[in-house]
């Protein structure tokens, strides 16, 4: 895909991947421009996918993400503008079985950087999760979604993630 590996002294391994100029695609998740990798889960359970992301400005603060091809329309992963790599949970609740799982990160806005991605056990109550609509809602107001993208509102204070189970 169009992601570019760059040297970055601020990244944990001295390198990061970035969505290069000219590859903005905020309307559709173009699966040809992606990062894919496998994670091995040793114990079945609920997990959270956390990325260390640098979002330098309001036009460079989101990606698309899916695990094992779900949700079918990749989830929009928005992050607040920041000047350094910050941990941010992907908008997915994952019910994963033991074994390998494929993570796909698709670019959305140029300049967004990814340092690393970590799979962590989630603190989810209940024994089962179900697939719900793969979207992010800010205080129940879809207009705020675009306001956060444009840097007009602080998404972390308002963000409510609807759970998505991936099986």
pLDDT at 129: 33
Q: Are 114 and 79 in contact (CB under 8 A)?
A: no
Q: Which of 54-68, 118-132, 138-152 has the lowest mean pLDDT?
A: 138-152
pLDDT at 6: 92
Q: How many angstroms from the chain centroid is the CA of residue 141?
A: 20
Q: What proportions of the chain, in percent to the nearest 5, are helix, strand and coil? A: 5, 45, 50
pLDDT tens-digit readout, 65-112: 999 999 999 999 999 999 999 999 999 989 999 999 999 998 888 899
The number of beta carbons lying within 10 Å of the beta carbon of residue 21 is 9
d(CA 167, CA 135): 18
Say if residue 155's pLDDT is above 90: no
Q: Which of 141 and 93 is assigned the larger pLDDT?
A: 93
Q: What is the CATH number of domain 4-161?
A: 2.60.120.260
Q: Where are the domains of the chain?
A: 4-161
Residue 132, CA distances (Å) to 18, 21, 125, 146, 165 in order: 30, 33, 16, 21, 8
Per the DSSP assignment, residues forming a β-bridge with 117 are 51
Say if residue 127's pLDDT is above 50: no
d(CA 156, CA 138): 9
Per the DSSP assignment, residues forming a β-bridge with 65 are 75, 105
d(CA 62, CA 77): 5
pLDDT tens-digit readout, 21-71: 877 666 677 777 888 888 888 889 999 999 999 999 998 999 999 999 999
């Amino acid at each position: 895909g169009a992601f570019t590996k760059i040297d970055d002294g601020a990244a944990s391994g001295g390198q990061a991947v970035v969505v290069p100029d000219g590859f903005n695609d905020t309307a559709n998740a173009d699966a040809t421009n992606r990062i894919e990798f496998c994670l091995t889960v040793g114990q079945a359970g609920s997990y959270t996918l956390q990325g260390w992301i640098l979002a330098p400005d309001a036009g460079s603060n989101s990606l698309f993400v899916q695990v094992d091809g779900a949700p079918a329309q990749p989830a929009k992963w928005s992050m607040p503008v920041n000047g350094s790599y910050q941990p941010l949970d992907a908008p997915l609740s994952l019910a994963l079985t033991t074994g390998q799982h494929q993570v796909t990160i698709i670019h959305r806005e140029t300049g967004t950087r990814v340092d690393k991605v970590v799979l962590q056990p989630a603190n989810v109550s209940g024994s089962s999760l179900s697939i719900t609509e793969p979207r992010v809602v800010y205080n129940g107001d879809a207009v705020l979604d675009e306001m956060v993208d444009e840097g007009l509102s602080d998404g972390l204070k308002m963000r409510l993630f609807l759970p998505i189970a991936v099986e």
